[in-house]
Amino acid sequence: MSDLKCGATSLDKPLDAAYWEAHYCAKTTGWDLGTVAPPIKMYIAKIVDKNSRILIPGCGNSYEAEYLLKQGFTDITVIDIAPTPASILQEKYKKNAAIQIVLGDFFEHQGNYDLIIEQTFFCALPPTMRQKYVWKMHQLLADKGILAGLLFSRTFESGPPFGGNQEEYEMLFKDAFSFLEMGMTQNSIAPRANSELFFELRKNSTVFVNMYQSENIKCSTSSSDVTEKLFTIEGVLNVSRSSDFEEILIVSIAPIDSKTIKDALSNSKEN
């Protein structure tokens, strides 16, 4: 880890396409279950609309997509930033119109989905990107769209994977999504037993979810002071600051312009 501004730390290596591609080339893909995770399989089996528009981000070898196709789903998109898994899938499904394979960055992806399936993508991202993950998921989902899948409920010495816990996830997704389910799984694969939770969140389409840069906030301003001040803006429901202090996720009932944010922050004890 190396020091960044405001005393935040960052990863030594960027977790970019080259990082993931190197793992696929070296076949050091310890995260790959070789099959669809049982809690996700169970969830898919309950989906009634086979024409749901489904996205699987950070898909890797995408056993979930294979299972969805077997079940007759007709509108699946998978995306990965690493060329190797994307090209394997492109070859495998080149004659199958029910699945689109995208090589690219999830955060640049545009689309409109009824369901997004999470399987070891969130935990593969630097924790500093968690607020951006919430923002992007909200943006990609259709009205009342669903984000569902697995999250780790444990910590790791170093990542990826990066862990977390239910309380942290609840704070992060609060108000941007409504919680249909979040709890420990009973049917994880043995090595992940008692360390995963299954979640199903519904997009809250009545709110605005935006990211703001915190570049004008002095390092001496504590995150709790920043958060407290932002909560004084009328209509703000949730505020979450990234762990490198660079960005702030704000959920509100009306759009909030940057001047309003600046004014609220200028009331901070030290801004």
Which residues of this chain interact with ligand SAM, rule CB under 6 A? Answer: 20, 31-32, 57-61, 79-82, 85, 105-107, 119-121, 124
CB of 32 to ligand SAM, least distance (A): 4
- Strand ranges (DSSP E) for 81-234? 99-103, 113-118, 141-152, 177-184, 196-203, 208-213
Give whichever of 159 and 235 is closer to ligand SAM, judged by the CB atom.
159
Give whichever of 161 and 235 is closer to ligand SAM, judged by the CB atom.
161
Say which residues have a Cβ less than 8 Å from residue 129's Cβ, sequence separation at least 6. 107, 242
Say which residues have a Cβ less than 8 Å from residue 258's Cβ, sequence separation at least 6. 212
CB of 267 to ligand SAM, least distance (A): 36
Give whichever of 112 and 267 is closer to ligand SAM, judged by the CB atom.
112
Say which residues have a Cβ less than 8 Å from residue 85's Cβ, sequence separation at least 6. 24, 59, 60, 61, 62
DSSP labels for 198-210? EEEEEE-TTSEEE
CB of 43 to ligand SAM, least distance (A): 15
User: Residue 260: enclosing H or E segment and its boundaries?
Assistant: helix 258-266
CB of 140 to ligand SAM, least distance (A): 12
Give whichever of 175 and 247 is closer to ligand SAM, judged by the CB atom.
247
CB of 60 to ligand SAM, least distance (A): 3
User: Residue 266: enclosing H or E segment and its boundaries?
Assistant: helix 258-266
Which residues, in sequence order, are bridge partners of residue 97? none
CB of 260 to ligand SAM, least distance (A): 31
Give dist(CA 120, CA 161) in Å, integer.
8
CB of 125 to ligand SAM, least distance (A): 6
Helices 17-26 and 83-92, axial angle in degrees (round to 10): 70
Give dist(CA 32, CA 61) in Å, integer.
8
Which residues, in sequence order, are bridge partners of residue 196? 152
